[in-house]
Structure 1
Amino acid sequence: MMHENQTLTIGRALRVLEERLRPAVHSRPHRLQLASHVVGGEPIPVTEGLAADYEPIGIGAWWGRAWDTTWLRITGTIPAEFAGRRVEIVADLGFDVNMPGFQAEGLVYLRDSTPVRSLNPRAQWIPVTREAAGGEAIEYFIEAASNPVLLDYHPFLPTEQGDWSTSSEECLYRIRRVDVCIFEEEVFELVHDIEVLLQLAQQLPADSTRRARILRALDESLNRVDLQNVSGTAVAARDELREVLASPAEASAHRLTAVGHAHIDSAWLWPLRETVRKVARTSSSMTALLDEDDEFVYAMSSAQQYDWLKRARPEVYARVKDAVAAGRFVPIGGMWVEPDAVLPSGESFIRQISYGQRFFREEFGIECRGAWLPDSFGYSGSLPQLLAGSGFDWFLTQKISWNQVNRFPHHSFLWEGIDGSRIFTHFPPMDTYNAQLSGEEVARAARQFKEKAVASSSLAPTGWGDGGGGTTREMLARGKRMADLEGSARVVFESPDAFFDRAMAELPSPDVWRGELYLELHRGTFTTQHKTKQGNRRSEQLLAEAELWGSAAAVRAGYEFPHDEIDELWREVLLLQFHDILPGTSIAWVHREAEERYAEIARRTEAIIAEALATLGVILDATDGSAVTAADSSANASARAVLVNAAPVAWNGAPASSAILAPVAIGAAAARREGDRFVLESGQVRITVDTNGHVLSALDLASGREAIPAGGRGNLLQLHQDFPNMWDAWDVDAHYLGMREDLDSGAHVELDDHTIVVRLAFGESSIEQRLFLDDDGRTLLIDNTVEWAETEKFLKLAFPVDVFADHAVAETQFGVHSRTTHTNTSWEDARFETQAQRWFLVEEPGFGVAFLNDSSHGFDVSRVESDGLVTQLARFSMLRAPKFPEPRTDHGTQTMRFGVLVGADVASATEAGWRLNMPARTGHGTPIAPLVSSENPAVIVSAVKLADDRSGDLIVRVYESRGGRGRAVLRLDVPGLRSASHTDLLERAREEAAPLALQQDDGAYSIELTLRPFEVATVRLSR
């Protein structure tokens, strides 16, 4: 009977709360007048919107085409009977309360351009006055964005709304109400008294004393409510709940830090320009809420988002800057954006931090202490070194809780990277970065916290994200009631740094997780939207090259290094590395714009490179950065070399000196037809191809070792059905492996000079491949041009490998990681699709085959048994064709280059990966000696640049690439050197580091370094 009565009480309380109490928070509505100004095209400046001509519009009117802006003007008068009361406007523009952040939003302004707050589905109110006199005039303006709803409640359906050119012309929203009302403060408080106690009771055991007493108190409270006079009886109803609300939490109660937050994707189901407005709306609301509540602390990541405010909405930024100075609005994360955490290069990670921290330092006089990446799709094992080496104390993410199969064993722990660096890491056990502080969420955090035996603290990023408005006053009301409440975790609003200080003190010896944090989800992001990934790779390389040549020209020839332009270009690249752009998971508009931006980045960096080289006395034959063709490669074989971090350059037929690769002179590769076979042969390898373009043999001539197992076919295109369980552009689910079509017939194959050309049509698509030997004489290069028109398909390129190995090794940022090729455990089985930077390697002692890419990160390696022998099947992931959020993902012409290096190990794979990704250039003029070169081939010079502080000092970044301890002498051909010193990754002096002795011999300088396995070292050369 008791259980039945409890159920009745819960049902009664829920209905009264939703149908009577919440609607009574705003009472005595009086309709206001509304007028509109429709903007066609891109948004207009605020001053222009305020001064526009407005036409009357009525309640019930439809407004807002997809991606359009409508300025609304609200006018009227506060009724005289509202005197002495708090007054607010309730404006429902057609919102769906279940879709905050994914539909219409607005930013409210006063006539003088003062921002008031955002208007969105979960905050449909505008503050007017805390104490009305009665009779005051009302005038507010709303910059309302009619963003289309692209994310449906559960299915992710193809949509044409993802680009302005294909979106609907129909109005999407209908105005429901615009009323001036009294805000009933006691009713608001009663709502949250009841809500918090009701949600707590639902989490307690059915037979607990605490639950029974809460439900009894709720019954008594509801008995005091007059449903026809809620405001008049709210105080009496609250009195019945005071005792149960005052009962303190247990001494051992979990402590939950609620950090005000709004995870705003810098682009996703909206274009970049709309994110600027989402940030402005949310920041406006959060600064207003800080004024309302002295205990509230709000945190926002991404220097880019602050910079957008500064440039586009200075009226909002001024309020943010004041709140930052007061310590209430807290910059976090220390990066330019929240990037993808596996696909960018190591240098890009460093620049994310250096540009982010520079902005926060220059604008606010602070640096962030921790990295904040709650939503990125897995985390490279290189990251701990890059974070710790940049001065961070802690790291936060939540995304690993999304794993499909395995539950991660920790919430607070030390994360150890590939080089042994460690950083304190926390996963919020609430399993969300958009917490609402509901009773269920708070109970879940306490229940799931893995370290509860030795610690009691966890963090909850609290607020609606993506333009949903951030933290709400309702969340604050819930949090205050749970500050010290029996049966609940203790909730406190404080900064992330305060939380991490306490969490680290609680856990002086945390458990350790070694290596990458692989996300068992979103594996398709290694491949989706290939042109975006291609643009990123090329931009990273061009910027590294521009910095190198610009630095060389500056220190040797007085070139005026373009600091401002290089900074601007880097920030553009860093923005496009955001975790819904680079992974390929945004709408068509975003990726179309990304391709345009990458083209402009290439144009500008090529111009810098050409100008710097001209200053050094070298004129390039071309500045398009295109890779050499097979015919070019034989002609220039003796002249090409890699110059530090730059593209290979031929100077009048004489090789440039090399800091990474010594130039190798080899004979031209032969290409011939032998019956029904085609053969590519150098002095080192022989590649045999059949009439369907399949590689039947890849023979290492020096060892006599065959890379292709008997009966195997390399260069085999395989097409899979690709329809994941949920997230189209994001996911590749394991069932795709059971649906495969081998494209093993119907090809047309012919010789074209030194190249084997393969053409094949399949489905609605076609491919042309050009197979030839690189001028190293060992690497089979495969240039692919695909006319891609498939839907929900996944294209792979397969190579069987006659190697016995338990692991495949892949390049990651500044090193390598390994993957098992077997599936002994559920953790190993879940890693059926993974990623590499420039190469992956299948190797047994003495022999291996490396697979190189110029822009395609995804791959898989599996074990194959035949006739009692186990071999490996290595596959490049080429293209996908998901339909959401872009229904024509990757359709059109796609180009990519792959390489297959026979007889490879980590050293040669690293070398070949650099070669493949540094397109050759030819020119004429004076040979250029490298600024910096390493005498140890395992220690790679990865970046040479002028110092960020514009002192003229030279910064050199090197890393140990093979996983062993490395001693290296760096040769420095830099005029006027005065000293050399260690710095951290942000170019700040490392006080604990031993000084570097600068040696001089016949006018040349050198320094000696000793590096740990995979260590990244940064050196400042002062002139």
Structure 2
Amino acid sequence: MIVHMIGNAHIDPVWLWRWQAGVDEALASFRSAADRCDEYPEFVYTRGEAWLFEQVEKIDPELFERVWRHVKEGRWHITGGQYLQPDLNAPTEIGLRRQILRGRRYFEQCFGVSPKVGYNVDSFGHPATLPDILADFGYEGYVFHRPAAHQVELPAQTFRWRGSGGGEVIGFRIAPAYVTRTDDLYGQITIALDAADRNLGHTMCFYGVGNHGGGPTKGNIEYILKNRHSFPDAELRFSTPQAFFDAISDRREDLPVVTEELQRTFPGCYSVMHDVKQEQRLGEHLLDQSERIVENLVEDENEKRDLLGRIDVAWDDLLFTAFHDILAGTSIPAAWRSVRAMQGRARIVGEEVAVEATRRWARRALPPVNQQQIVVLNPDEGPWEGLVEHEPYLDFDAWGNRWLSDTGGGPVDFQLIQPEAGAHVERMIFPASIPARGHAQILVRDDEPPALWKPLTDLEASPDHISNAHLRADLDNSGIRALTVDGRNPLGGGGMRLHLREDHTDTWTFHTNRFDGPVSGVFEGEGWVVEESGPLRARVRLDGTLGGSRVRWTLTLHRDDARLRVGIEVNFNERFELLQMPVHLADPPARRTDGLAGGQVDRAPGPTEWPVQGWSRVDVAGGQLALVTADAYSLSGDGDLWQWTLLRSPRMAWGGGEPLVYGGRDWHTDQGPHAFEFVLLTGESLDEIALRATARQQAQPPILFDRYEGMDRPPWGNSPPRGLWLEAEERAFADGRLPELKDSFEAGAARPLFEKTEQDREG
């Protein structure tokens, strides 16, 4: 048996420290490893993660030169090929692919190497679609540690891991760990041999001290040199993961095939630190959309190169914040300010690129129309159809008799809804049907609308139900009591609710795979209120308190649309509690399929908590039911209960117990405001590809913006309503000037731009 001894250091850029300390541990670990390479000619060091190399290159060029030389000599082996070792459950498919693209580009440019062994030794679970992604990039092997043997039983330590799409790599689960604590390696090697397949003739054993940098010690190396043949029927050999996989490549057909996801590791990480996960998900979608905009709309190659380069730089921030101890939500309070700043920096770059590319394109490509226009742009690869919202700038004028048309003059239905500002900004919704990578120009008109034009509707809304021709939701003060679709109610007696559940597990939830604490509170609202009643959209709202948290439910139906939109806003103020959305089904589903990055997986029923991305679908009597969301990432399905975990509130970076010096000050996760949007779909057959498209378009909606050939004045021209007069107009009119203001004066004072509040009046 050849034992491939893999010298490595475990480097977490962020965890129980901030990223600045991560830079320091990288510098120290690289220096130590370079010293060991200088001192021991047979020693080989293994290191991945391009971000670490970049820090050394920027800060200590002399050390980087030493590393470069060791790589060229074959003494320093680059593995993994990613930017960092990310969380693998929360990032989008494009985020996971970008990790590899960015890392490989760096290693190819700096060292001329392109690693073919995936290396995520500390990530908390591995989705069923990961082998497909790895195989697409030509990876041959994959090294991981979690889930451990007590969490997921595998037929062998080394196996063929086949993805849900058919892609395949050879997987290797590390035993017993990727780090050591002492110079003596007897226990580490013995356990590695116990876990190995003797018939294979090869295994790996990882060594190197420290969990905040570090690496192989002189004592480790000398132990290996001294004990090369001290273990029965085994030879210790300084080696690399690539050498191990090369050695067993001709035994591939002898290896067992595993087609399951490598999951059920630390389920608390699937939902904790919701705002960071949400911003990561939406940020990745934004950069993906911005890149698509540039590729589709920008013709000038220099401009395209500049914009795509800025997107690449923005991705570096999101690739860093995808690191497993960041995106899994397990870092200390002091780390989060920088994390949020990085996510925000990436977001604003995505927004800037989208604005520049779309406005330049509009100026160049759209036909001139001497009217105010709303441009609706669909950058997606598929057609988009639905309602869009917009607030056209009207120079503080009221909407009045304005109407919408297409460029051919055909009227476009619209509905005025509440704007975000308190006054003098109008917001509307209108239907749009936009082809893939297409656009529409909608005109805001102030001439006479067509006679007999009135939008039709099938919507109804009241405090006890909301419905259209396809679906009816019956309501009570706890949520959705019943759902009627084609004469059937897929919900059970419990309906669709919100509740709090006691959760005294640690930040990771180390010691269980489920949340089974008692329910401590069920949401009871103050009565549903009709917010909108059509003709295009109906909306009802339920406000109330759950525990110490303020909660708002919003249900929305569109005209002639079978999809029910469920919005949840919560100002979370709990400790050691979960916020969950239980959906009680009429019967246990025959099948449940959950979305993943780049695909989906069927999961067995039971109380186990699972990560989910984008959507989940259950097979119920008469058809299927699906929930699509970019905002919730954890669920379980036990019997007739389809339950989503929305928020958690353990202490931050807490594994249980208290620090040696403890003053009673605690920091809990997920405090403050959070928002969730779900789309509930029903049908005889809800196709996976269509569900993935719905999830993508929910996170990447059409882009809307105003466009003018010149700033048209509102219909009142040079005679603004009295409520919009400024001091200059008041003085000019009082002095007999601006006679055109007479009609406005005689019409009386319209609503002023900003009204006094009661406090102002009292003052």
Q: TM-score, normalised by structure 2?
A: 0.77
For 2:110 and 2:499, locate their aligned partners in 1 and report how far apart those are by CA, in whole Å.
Answer: 52
Give the counterpart of 2:546 among 753, 758, 762: 762
Give the counterpart of 2:530 among 751, 759, 766: 751
Match of 2:648 in 1: 880
Give the counterpart of 2:484 among 688, 691, 699: 699
Match of 2:748 in 1: none
For 1:564 and 1:776, locate their aligned partners in 2 and report how far apart those are by CA, in whole Å.
Answer: 43
Give the counterpart of 1:857 among 625, 633, 638: 633
User: 1:729 touches 1:882 (CA, 8 Å); kept in 2?
Assistant: no
Give the counterpart of 1:408 among 133, 139, 154: 154
Match of 2:167 in 1: 421
Match of 2:469 in 1: 683
For 2:243 and 2:585, locate their aligned partners in 1 and report how far apart those are by CA, in whole Å.
Answer: 53
Give the counterpart of 1:892 among 657, 672, 683: 672
After TM superposition, the structure 1 = structure 2 runs for residues 372-383 of structure 1, keeping only pairs within 5 Å, are 372-383=119-130
Aligned with 1:616: secondary structure? helix
For 1:838 and 1:460, locate their aligned partners in 2 and report how far apart those are by CA, in whole Å.
Answer: 37
Match of 1:733 in 2: 512
For 1:557 and 1:439, locate their aligned partners in 2 and report how far apart those are by CA, in whole Å.
Answer: 60
1:639 aligns with 2:428: no
1:639 deviation in Å? 1.2
User: 1:298 touches 1:330 (CA, 8 Å); kept in 2?
Assistant: yes
Letter in 1 for 2:643: R
Match of 1:983 in 2: none
Letter in 1 for 2:292: L
Distance change (3 Å), C-alpha of 1:442 and 1:683: same
1:403 deviation in Å? 3.9
For 2:301 and 2:526, locate their aligned partners in 1 and report how far apart those are by CA, in whole Å.
Answer: 54
For 1:767 and 1:668, locate their aligned partners in 2 and report how far apart those are by CA, in whole Å.
Answer: 30
Match of 1:566 in 2: 311
After TM superposition, the structure 1 = structure 2 runs for residues 693-842 of structure 1, keeping only pairs within 5 Å, are 693-700=478-485, 703-709=486-492, 711-714=493-496, 716-724=497-505, 727-731=506-510, 733=512, 736-753=515-532, 754-774=538-558, 777-802=561-586, 804-821=588-605, 823=606, 832-842=608-618
1:542 aligns with 2:286: yes
Give the counterpart of 1:341 among 68, 88, 102: 88
User: 1:557 touches 1:616 (CA, 8 Å); kept in 2?
Assistant: no
Match of 2:442 in 1: 652
For 2:502 and 2:513, locate their aligned partners in 1 and report how far apart those are by CA, in whole Å.
Answer: 11
1:613 aligns with 2:367: no
For 2:388 and 2:8, locate their aligned partners in 1 and report how far apart those are by CA, in whole Å.
Answer: 46
User: 1:684 touches 1:778 (CA, 8 Å); kept in 2?
Assistant: yes
Match of 2:259 in 1: 514
Letter in 2 for 1:681: S
Aligned with 2:12: secondary structure? coil
For 2:343 and 2:549, locate their aligned partners in 1 and report how far apart those are by CA, in whole Å.
Answer: 26
Task: Could you tell me which runs of 5 or more consecutive residues in structure 1 were left unpaired when the two chains were aligned.
Answer: 1-253, 655-665, 824-828, 864-871, 927-1023
1:409 deviation in Å? 2.5
Match of 1:670 in 2: 459
Distance change (3 Å), C-alpha of 1:420 and 1:446: same
Distance change (3 Å), C-alpha of 1:818 and 1:637: farther
For 1:579 and 1:303, locate their aligned partners in 2 and report how far apart those are by CA, in whole Å.
Answer: 15
After TM superposition, the structure 1 = structure 2 runs for residues 310-349 of structure 1, keeping only pairs within 5 Å, are 310-349=57-96
After TM superposition, the structure 1 = structure 2 runs for residues 63-462 of structure 1, keeping only pairs within 5 Å, are 254-401=1-148, 403-404=150-151, 406-434=152-180, 438-449=185-196, 451-452=197-198, 454-462=199-207
Moved more, 753-762 or 799-808: 799-808
Aligned with 1:401: secondary structure? coil
> Greater relative contact order: 1 or 2 (C-alpha under 8 angstroms, separation 6 or more)?
2
Letter in 2 for 1:652: I
User: 1:257 touches 1:492 (CA, 8 Å); kept in 2?
Assistant: yes
Letter in 2 for 1:706: N
User: 2:297 touches 2:361 (CA, 8 Å); kept in 1?
Assistant: yes
Distance change (3 Å), C-alpha of 1:682 and 1:525: same
Moved more, 805-814 or 741-750: 741-750
Q: Encode CA deviations 1:277-296: one digit per residue, 9 max, x unaligned.
A: 11000000110111110011
For 1:764 and 1:368, locate their aligned partners in 2 and report how far apart those are by CA, in whole Å.
Answer: 51
Task: Could you tell me which runs of 5 or more consecutive residues in structure 2 were left unpaired when the two chains were aligned.
Answer: 364-372, 380-386, 391-414, 419-426, 445-454, 533-537, 655-666, 709-763
User: 2:10 touches 2:214 (CA, 8 Å); kept in 1?
Assistant: no
User: 2:375 touches 2:441 (CA, 8 Å); kept in 1?
Assistant: no
Q: Encode CA deviations 1:722-771: one digit per residue, 9 max, x unaligned.
A: 112xx424548357324113414354432212321111212222112222
After TM superposition, the structure 1 = structure 2 runs for residues 885-924 of structure 1, keeping only pairs within 5 Å, are 885=653, 887-903=667-683, 905-907=686-688, 908-924=690-706
Letter in 1 for 2:701: P
1:627 deviation in Å? 8.5
For 1:460 and 1:631, locate their aligned partners in 2 and report how far apart those are by CA, in whole Å.
Answer: 66
For 1:383 and 1:806, locate their aligned partners in 2 and report how far apart those are by CA, in whole Å.
Answer: 26
Aligned with 2:216: secondary structure? coil
User: 2:122 touches 2:144 (CA, 8 Å); kept in 1?
Assistant: yes
Aligned with 1:334: secondary structure? coil
Q: Encode CA deviations 1:197-223: one digit per residue, 9 max, x unaligned.
A: xxxxxxxxxxxxxxxxxxxxxxxxxxx
Letter in 1 for 2:267: R
For 1:837 and 1:515, locate their aligned partners in 2 and report how far apart those are by CA, in whole Å.
Answer: 17
Match of 1:24 in 2: none
Moved more, 497-506 or 876-885: 497-506
1:811 deviation in Å? 1.2
Q: Encode CA deviations 1:401-431: one digit per residue, 9 max, x unaligned.
A: 2644x43331111000011121111112334
Match of 1:13 in 2: none
Letter in 1 for 2:156: H
For 2:142 and 2:526, locate their aligned partners in 1 and report how far apart those are by CA, in whole Å.
Answer: 51
Letter in 2 for 1:392: Y
- In the alignment of these two chains, the number of paired residues is 629
User: 1:841 touches 1:851 (CA, 8 Å); kept in 2?
Assistant: yes
User: 1:801 touches 1:849 (CA, 8 Å); kept in 2?
Assistant: no
1:468 deviation in Å? 4.2
Distance change (3 Å), C-alpha of 1:556 and 1:809: farther
Match of 1:977 in 2: none
1:684 deviation in Å? 1.7
User: 2:594 touches 2:616 (CA, 8 Å); kept in 1?
Assistant: yes
Aligned with 2:299: secondary structure? helix
Aligned with 1:900: secondary structure? strand
1:670 deviation in Å? 2.7
Letter in 2 for 1:672: A
Aligned-residue sequence identity (percent) comes to: 22
Letter in 1 for 2:568: N
User: 1:413 touches 1:511 (CA, 8 Å); kept in 2?
Assistant: yes
Give the counterpart of 2:243 among 490, 495, 498: 498
RMSD of the alignment, in Å?
Answer: 2.9
1:600 deviation in Å? 2.1
Distance change (3 Å), C-alpha of 1:307 and 1:669: farther
1:693 deviation in Å? 4.0
Letter in 1 for 2:488: R
Letter in 2 for 1:697: A
For 1:671 and 1:877, locate their aligned partners in 2 and report how far apart those are by CA, in whole Å.
Answer: 31
After TM superposition, the structure 1 = structure 2 runs for residues 556-635 of structure 1, keeping only pairs within 5 Å, are 559-561=303-305, 562-617=307-362, 628=389
For 1:920 and 1:557, locate their aligned partners in 2 and report how far apart those are by CA, in whole Å.
Answer: 25
Distance change (3 Å), C-alpha of 1:620 and 1:445: farther
1:555 deviation in Å? 3.3
